[in-house]
Amino acid sequence: MVGIKSYGAYIPYRRLPRSVINAAWGRGGGRGERAVAGIDEDSISMAVSAGIDCLKDTDPKAIDAVFLATTTPPYIERLNANVVANALDCRRDTRNTDYANCLRAGATALQSAIDAVKSGTLKNVLVAITDMRMGGAGGEDELMLGDGAAAFLIGDDDVAVELEGSYTESDDMVDYWRVEGDVYLRSWEDRFGRDAGYSVTPLEAVKGLMKKLNLAPKDFTKACIYGINTRAQSGLAKSMGFTPAQVQDPLLDNVGNTGTALTPMILISALENAKPGDRFLAVNWGNGCDAMSFKVTENIKKVGERRGIKRHLNIKGELDNYGKFLRWRDMVALAPLSRPAGGGVSMSAEWRERRSGLPLYGVKCLKCGTVQLYMRGTSMRAHVCLECQAKDNFEPYRFADKKGTVVSFSHDYLGGGIDPPATRTVVDFEGGGRGLFDMVDRDPAECKVGMKVEMTFRKVRSAPGSNVYFWKCKPVRD
């Protein structure tokens, strides 16, 4: 049997009420809120966070491939999946692949992973699905879009969710698109996309799947259906023959339309309450439709606790300032920094430290057991033990999966930037080791010595044409 062994998700900490957006443009109303990725987040960093959630209690060295699906890859020509795999500490011989250019890229990546495992080519595949699409200021897309990510571990042992079958309809429906150089989504007249595409093709795909598997709507516990908006999604589900009780919350009101990641995130929210024998329908829309039937097995009990969707929904802080949102998305010109920006990006230094920097490795002394995290501008490698002074007698020790305690911190209000103040912290890790890190997803007033923090993978600097990624800390909020 081949299918989903584990799952994970990520929703950014900040949520922007739609009423705040409307108020900024002189409009009233606005139901719900949308998830907003931070200034140092993108599709790669969110994929890493979802992957960490998915791989809890799983050795990343057991992963044979990382498939990354997104319509918003930070790099157009560079394997984005490699960055995700390195940050997660996967082996060098993993077969990493990017899936892009279509909202169904996640469904394609998921089915490709299942096919690869079935064929015996690969044993365990991590599929990370993530998006951070942008709508122009003041438009409907700005209100409805949201940021997020999902991840699935595909394998052939301890399978918790089996893919029973799938059915695909492919149409060159040009309702939403972007061309080279576009930052914001373009769209045709919305009734065209809805009436000629969204209301038709998914219905045909679901009918094709049910005929193929000899199933009926009553055979499904939940239907996880991509939604262009809540009303259209509800109408489509009714046309398919599902009762309101069978339709899984589409997350549009409290997260927003996360593009490629939307249907996978809806599926994960259904799996969080799944019981052996449950059957779920996943319907993914975009230039056609993929309809997939999943059957839950007894191994769902082995998956264990994940932050998933439910816990991430409860971990949030309100972004109550529309101007700050515009600054975060680089949609307004800012005053020049009062201090010089950081130094240039050294691709060669990033390459030299690829085995220790991105996965955040320190060392453990083989003589006395002391662990230490050595960080300086030119190297991540320590040579002398701080405790017993033994030289070059270490084994690798990973800090990215360790929690820590704040020893000291400072807020920098004078440097300017997109989201002042910048918060720098000294962190003591559980099990030993100390490091200096930026703190994110925090309110300055809540910072205190002794607070518990965990590591999160983020951008530390952007330079023309490239990004630099590293680890920061954030408060533990579970």
Q: So what's the pLDDT on residue 320?
A: 86
Q: What is the pLDDT of residue 462?
A: 67
Q: Name the β-bridge partners of 99.
A: 69
Q: What is the pLDDT of residue 464?
A: 67
> Region 456-477: what's the mean pLDDT?
88
Tokens of 52: 């960490």
User: Average pLDDT for residues 48-56, to the nearest whole number?
Assistant: 98
Which stretch of 242-246, 293-297, 378-382, 408-412 has the lowest confidence by average pLDDT? 378-382
pLDDT of residue 188: 86
Residue ranges of the chain that CATH labels 2.40.50.840:
351-475
User: Is it the case that residue 196 has pLDDT exceeding 90?
Assistant: no
Contact in structure between 398 and 359 (CB atoms under 8 Å)? yes
Q: Residue 416's pLDDT is what?
A: 66
Of 121, 53, 43, the residue nearest 88 (C-alpha): 53
246/221 Cα distance (integer angstroms): 6
Could you tell me what percent of the chain has a pLDDT over 90? 83
Residue 168's pLDDT is what?
Answer: 97
d(CA 255, CA 79): 28
Give the chain as a 3 state SS string.
CCEEEEEEEECCCEEEEHHHHHHHCCCCCCCCEEEECCCCCCHHHHHHHHHHHHCCCCCHHHCCEEEEECCCCCCCCCCHHHHHHHHCCCCCCCCCEEECCCCCHHHHHHHHHHHHHHHCCCCCEEEEEEECCCCCCCCHHHHHECCEEEEEEEECCCCCEEEEEEEEEECCCCCEECCCCCCCCEECCHHHHHHHHHCCHHHHHHHHHHHHHCCCHHHCCEEEECCCCHHHHHHHHHHHCCCHHHECCCCCCCCCECHHHHHHHHHHHHHCCCCCCCEEEEEEECCEEEEEEEEECHHHHHCCCCCCCHHHHHCCEECCCHHHHHHHCCCCCCCCCCCCCCCCCCHHHHHHCCCCCCCCEEEEECCCCCEECCCCCCCCCCCECCCCCCECCEEEEECCCCCEEEEEEEEECCCCCCCCCEEEEEEEECCCCEEEEEECCCCHHHCCCCCEEEEEEEEEEEECCEEEEEEEEEECCC
pLDDT at 378 > cutoff 80: no
Q: Decide if pLDDT at 23 tops 80.
A: yes
Q: How far apart are CA 263 and CA 144, in angstroms?
A: 15
pLDDT of residue 478: 83
pLDDT, residue 195, reads: 86
Specify the domain boundaries for CATH 3.40.47.10 within the chain. Answer: 3-328
Predicted local confidence at residue 344, as pLDDT: 59
CATH of domain 351-475: 2.40.50.840
Each residue of 427-450: pLDDT tens digit? Answer: 999 999 999 999 999 999 999 999
- pLDDT at residue 460 greater than cutoff 80: yes
Spatial neighbors of 71 by CB under 8 A, at least 6 apart, are: 100, 101, 102, 103, 105, 131, 133, 178, 259, 260
Query: pLDDT digit string (tens) for 301-358?
Result: 999 999 999 999 999 999 989 999 999 998 988 777 666 665 556 777 778 777 788 8
Classify burial at 430, counting beta carbons within 10 Å of its beta carbon; exposed 0-12, middle 13-18, buried 19 or more. exposed
Give the least confident one: 8-12, 139-143, 345-349, 422-426: 345-349
* Range of lowest pLDDT (63-77, 117-131, 345-359, 369-383): 345-359
Predicted confidence band at 377 (pLDDT cuts at 50, 70, 90)? low
* pLDDT score for 343: 57
The pLDDT assigned to 174 comes to 85
The mean pLDDT of 92-96, rounded to a whole number, is 97
What mean pLDDT is reported for the chain? 93
Predicted pLDDT at 245: 97
Strand 222-225 to strand 125-131: parallel, antiparallel, or no bridges (unpaired)? unpaired
3-state secondary structure 39-108: CCCCHHHHHHHHHHHHCCCCCHHHCCEEEEECCCCCCCCCCHHHHHHHHCCCCCCCCCEEECCCCCHHHH
Tell me the Ramachandran region of residue 153: left when phi exceeds 0, alpha when psi lies from -120 to 50, beta otherwise: beta
Indicate if the alpha-carbon torsion angle 115, 118, 121, 126 is positive or negative. Answer: positive
Q: Is it the case that residue 275 has pLDDT exceeding 70?
A: yes
Phi/psi at 120 (nearest 5 deg)? 90, 0
- CA–CA separation, 471 and 334 (whole Å): 26
Question: What is the mean predicted confidence (pLDDT) over 456-468?
Answer: 82
Class of domain 3-328: alpha beta
Higher pLDDT, 365 or 462: 365
pLDDT score, position 337? 67
The whole-model pTM stands at: 0.96
Tell whether the model's pLDDT for residue 470 goes beyond 60.
yes
In the predicted structure, residue 288 carries a pLDDT above the cut 90: yes
